[in-house]
Amino acid sequence: MTFCLLFLLAFFGDSVPEAHAGKDLSVAVLQNYPPFSYTDEHGNLVGFDVEFAEALCGQLHAQCRTVALPLRAIVAGLASQSLDIAVAGLGVTEERGRIMLFSNSYYRSHSFYIGRPGIRLDEEGLEGKILAAQHNSVQLIALHRIWQGKAVVVSFESHQGLLDALVRGRVDVVLIDGFPGMEFLKSPEGAGFVMLGNPILPRENPSGSCIAVSKEHPELVGRINQAILTLRVTGEYGRIMRKYFSFSIY
């Protein structure tokens, strides 16, 4: 019977938490990506990603240094391990999977097309039109996949650059992430633009937006997943979310 007890113990004796407290982490958010991260009228870095990163660091018991960077710099920083984590709504792609690790999704991701009213999203309707997405983004990969050879596809370094080009008429249609897209449609600059067709879920990113982790810290992934769940259960996630969205983004 003693043998059975030992057998049982062996099964349940493996739940020892590991300590990772008090470590400094450098955290990246996207530059000028409202409402996830942007600079408010007082010059402070705010937004859902910024506050969520803060809450996450609290859960990880880590001191965090948050920096706002363009997408390209974030990907490069994670690849070179000069950044520890990125709270930048990154979707898991094959290419990124090779150079960084990903947590579970922390908000849903889908994309939609924005353009002037009346543009039809087919080969005929897009003839002579220029489609655009942010460089390095899931949306750009999707555009290439869907419209390769049927329409002109270009990319822009930053989110803001992409939207500027749309407003100035340098491009006709953009494919962007849903939540910043809604933010744009509601903004004064977005007047005169509409959502074209229905939102899509790019097959390049079925996993939603995740927190990217440098390959230097594989142990962080599980702890971040646990922290996301904890933040959601405790309502902290909802509290932050409601500051920036009237609906749920999870």
Partner 1 sequence: MRIGIRTFGLSIMSVMFVLFVFQVYMLSTLQRIESMANAAAHQYLPNILQRQQFLLNIEHMRLNASQMRYAANTRQLQQASASLRMLLADAGFGNIGFKPVLDKVYPLLDELMELRLALFKLVEDVRRQEWRFLLTLGRLAEHVSWNEEQFPLLAEPLPEQPHYLSLITGSYAFMSDSVNQLFTACRKHGENDPETRTACVDLERVWKNIGDKQREIGRYQEHFDLLVKDIDQVLVGLSVEASSVEARGIYEGMEAIDDETRQIRNIFTVLGIGNALFLLLLFVALQQQIFLPLRRTTEILRDMRGGQGMARLPKTCIEEFSDIIDTLPSLNAYLNDLHQRSGQLEQERERFAGLSLTDDLTGLGNRRALDQAIQRDRQTSALAVLMVDVDNFKLYNDTLGHLAGDVALQTVARMVKQNCARASDKTFRYGGEEFVGLLIATGREGAMSVAESLRDSVEKLHIPHPGLETGVLTISVGVASREQGETTHVEELLAHADIALYAAKNSGRNRVCHYAKEQPPVEAHPA
Hey, what amino acid is at 124? Answer: E
DSSP for the chain reads -HHHHHHHHHHHTT--PPP-TT-EEEEEEESSBTTTBEE-TTS-EESHHHHHHHHHHHHHT-EEEEEEE-HHHHHHHHHTTS-SEEEEEEE--HHHHHH-EEEEEEE---EEEEESTT--SSTTTTTT-EEEEETT-HHHHHHHHHHTTTSEEEEESSHHHHHHHHHTTS-SEEEEEHHHHHHHHHSGGGTT-EEEEEEE--TT-TT-EEEEE-TT-HHHHHHHHHHHHHHHHHTHHHHHHHHH-SS---
Q: Which stretch binds partner 1 (CB under 8 A): 62-70, 89-97, 119-127, 176-184?
A: 176-184
Looking at beta carbons only, is 27 or 141 nearer to partner 1?
A: 141
- Selected range binding partner 1 among 21-29, 42-50, 142-150, 184-192, rule: CB under 8 A: 184-192
Q: Is 9 in the site for partner 1 (CB under 8 A)?
A: no
Under rule CB under 8 A, residue 167 binds partner 1? no
Please state the closest distance from residue 225 (CB atom) to partner 1, in A. 10
Site membership for partner 1, residue 13 (CB under 8 A): no
Q: State the Cα–Cα distance between residues 59 and 186, nearest whole angstrom.
A: 33
Residue 229: how many CB atoms within 10 A of its CB? 13
Instruction: Work out whether 170 is an interface residue with partner 1 (CB under 8 A).
Output: no
With contacts defined by CB under 8 A, how many residues of the chain interact with partner 1?
A: 30
If one asks whether residue 250 binds partner 1 (CB under 8 A), the answer comes out as yes
Nearer to partner 1, 70 or 180 (CB): 180
Give 16 or 191: the residue with its C-beta nearer to partner 1: 191
Q: Contact with partner 1 (CB under 8 A): which of 38, 102, 112, 113?
A: 112
Residue of 73, 182, 211, 224 that binds partner 1 (CB under 8 A): 182
Among 18, 42, 169, 247, binds partner 1 (CB under 8 A): 247
6 touches partner 1 (CB under 8 A): no
- Residue 186 near partner 1 by CB under 8 A: yes
Please state the closest distance from residue 183 (CB atom) to partner 1, in A. Answer: 11
Determine the Cα–Cα distance for residues 136 and 88; give it in Å rounded to an integer: 13
Pick the binder of partner 1 from 17, 22, 117, 149 (CB under 8 A). 117
Cβ of 181: how many Cβ atoms within 10 Å?
23
In whole angstroms, how close is the CB of 191 to partner 1 at the nearest point? 6
Binding status of residue 187 toward partner 1 by CB under 8 A: no
Output phi, psi for 85, to 5 deg: -140, 160
Q: Residues in the site for partner 1, rule: CB under 8 A?
A: 1, 3-4, 7-8, 11, 108, 110, 112, 117, 178, 181-182, 185-186, 191, 194-195, 198-201, 229, 232-233, 246-250
